[in-house]
Amino acid sequence: MSNATKATTRNPHARDWRDQYAARLALTDFLVLIWVVFGVQLAWFGFDTADVQFSGDVGYLAVTYTSFSIILIAGWMALLSVFGTREHRVLGTGPDEYKLIVNASIRLFGIIAIISFLFKIDIARGYILLAFPLGVSVLIFSRWVWRQWLVVKRMDGHFTARVILVGTLASSARIARELRSTPGAGYRVVGAVVTTGPEDAELPGTDIPIFGGLDDVHSALETTDADTVVVTSSSDLTPTSMRELSWGLEPGRYHMVVVPQLIDIGGPRIHTRPVSGLPLIHVETPRYEGRTLFAKRAFDIVGSASLLLVLSPFLFVVALIVRLSSPGAVFFRQDRVGINGSRFRMFKFRSMVTDAETLLDGLQNQARTEGNTVMFKMRNDPRVTPVGRFIRRYSIDELPQLFNVLAGSMSLVGPRPPLEREVGDYENHVHRRFLVKPGITGLWQISGRSNLSWAETVRLDLYYVENWSMTGDLVILWRTARAVLQRDGAY
């Protein structure tokens, strides 16, 4: 029996977890829609099953709202299925899953509106206007709850795709480390086959076994009970090899994922379009103008003004504590580099002694030994006051930067604003972080903060610059609140 044949006859339950999870989602969706639709019906009409009036060319017809609610639930469930909201490709992905739910719901109520207009069906508008947003909101919330459960399970090694990596030794090791750093994504690397590289038993820096070369893919799938092949460097495989590899995987049981050579490019900027049989990947260039920039600035103004208004009593108390706890001014003002290399003065609550800048030179070497190559980061900085240590731990010292946001020199979300002396050490590509305004928070703050290496900080900042969106900003702000409460990396 060939390796390919054995691979297709083994592991009959490889998809069970996906099917079970999708079934659970379907049941939850059904219960949510019953609760929402019939709940809205009772809230709007009480126990009076008023008629839905129909007057068209075919004569008069009246159905009860109970019947209409049943039809609405059935249609909603059908469109959620048609739009693939429970497909394994979007399981636990968050935004993609939520977008599909919203798109399916919009289509459903669009169809209802068209049918109502064409056939002159009189449906209570309040009933529809309540059922639509409430149904979408509760559906998304229920999926979010399931997603949290799925992430916890994946952290324990359950509900994951078992992955065999295919590519060079170096690229496979890099992708293995990336996937291991985010277990919640649901990809568990269980082996690798390498196209080029030394004859090693394991991928460098990991305990992941190597099962030989390209001809050993099917035996590796069989041995490890894997269900997904991830091609880490397709440039090392001929088109014929890629095609044969794809053909050798049983549809529906095994999946093939190709890692593009483009890295740190966000999904909305990537579009695949077949041309003459070639799957061409179109990558949109990032734009920093027009209505999106206007929307970002409007959001910054409204957000910073609202936060300053709500937090003003708290800010006054913090200012008073800082002033009375140690000699010196309440605010610390420091020149930073902003958009397009412009200089601006950034505000923070003072968290250090008054002569902190003069003491910096004596601490630079010690900070370098803690893994810092460009930024000064020190876990136990002796210049920090007791009160300063507390307000840093919860990022309270950053709140005066809301005035910078309101004035226009900063944004709520963006790359970290650097010091001028740090910019002198930048490599050329790092200067791309100046294409957008610096932010109070950003990807670096929700991904480890001061615990990050310089290379990782740069990668996150540049990823934000290349892929920023209003939706992404909202997600970062939400995750910032959690990162602040966890206090990891704040010092």
Q: What mean pLDDT do residues 119-141 have?
A: 84
Query: What is the SS3 assignment for 7-70?
Result: HHHCCCCCCHHHHHHHHHHHHHHHHHHHHHHHHHHHHHHCCCCCEEEEEECCEEEEEEHHHHHH
**Minimal CA–CA distance to 170: which of 217, 232, 220?**
232
On the question of pLDDT at 52 being above 60, the answer is no
Which 3 state secondary structure label does DSSP give 382?
coil
How far apart, in whole angstroms, are the C-alpha atoms of residue 92 and residue 88? 9
Give 110-114's long-range contacts (Cβ < 8 A, gap of 24+): 111/75, 112/72, 112/75
What percentage of the chain carries pLDDT values higher than 70?
78
On the question of pLDDT at 331 being above 60, the answer is yes
Give residue-wise pLDDT tens across range 334-382.
899 999 999 999 999 998 877 666 666 555 555 544 545 566 566 667 7
| Domain residue limits, the chain | 16-155, 160-261, 291-486
How far apart, in whole angstroms, are the C-alpha atoms of residue 107 and residue 256? 31
pLDDT recorded at residue 9: 39
pLDDT recorded at residue 462: 85
Q: Concatenated DSSP letters for 192-245?
A: EEESSS---SB-TTS-PBB--SGGGHHHHHHHHT--EEEES-GGGS-HHHHHHH
How far apart, in whole angstroms, are the C-alpha atoms of residue 414 and residue 199? 44
Please give the backbone phi and psi of residue 28, each rounded to the nearest 5 degrees, phi first.
-65, -45
Give residue-wise pLDDT tens across range 270-283.
666 676 666 677 66
Quickly state the pLDDT bin for 4 (edges 50, 70, 90).
very low
How far apart, in whole angstroms, are the C-alpha atoms of residue 449 and residue 393? 11
pLDDT recorded at residue 413: 94
Which 3 state secondary structure label does DSSP give 343?
strand
How far apart, in whole angstroms, are the C-alpha atoms of residue 239 and residue 218? 19
Quickly state the pLDDT bin for 94 (edges 50, 70, 90).
low
pLDDT recorded at residue 57: 45
Q: Higher model confidence: residue 132 or residue 64? A: 132
Q: Concatenated DSSP letters for 286-316?
A: P---THHHHHHHHHHHHHHHHHHHHHHHHHH
pLDDT recorded at residue 14: 43
How far apart, in whole angstroms, are the C-alpha atoms of residue 76 and residue 135? 10
Q: Higher model confidence: residue 288 or residue 467? A: 467
Quickly state the pLDDT bin for 13 (edges 50, 70, 90).
very low
pLDDT recorded at residue 306: 95
Instruction: State the average pLDDT for the chain.
Output: 80
On the question of pLDDT at 3 being above 50, the answer is no
Residue 357 tokens, joined: 């800048």
CATH class of the domain comprising 160-261 = alpha beta
Count CB neighbours of 164 within 10 A. Answer: 26
How far apart, in whole angstroms, are the C-alpha atoms of residue 410 and residue 355? 26
Give residue-wise pLDDT tens across range 310-327.
999 999 999 999 999 888
Give residue-wise pLDDT tens across range 389-400.
888 888 899 999
How far apart, in whole angstroms, are the C-alpha atoms of residue 57 and residue 345? 72
On the question of pLDDT at 451 being above 80, the answer is no
On the question of pLDDT at 139 being above 90, the answer is yes
Which 3 state secondary structure label does DSSP give 188?
strand
On the question of pLDDT at 475 being above 90, the answer is no
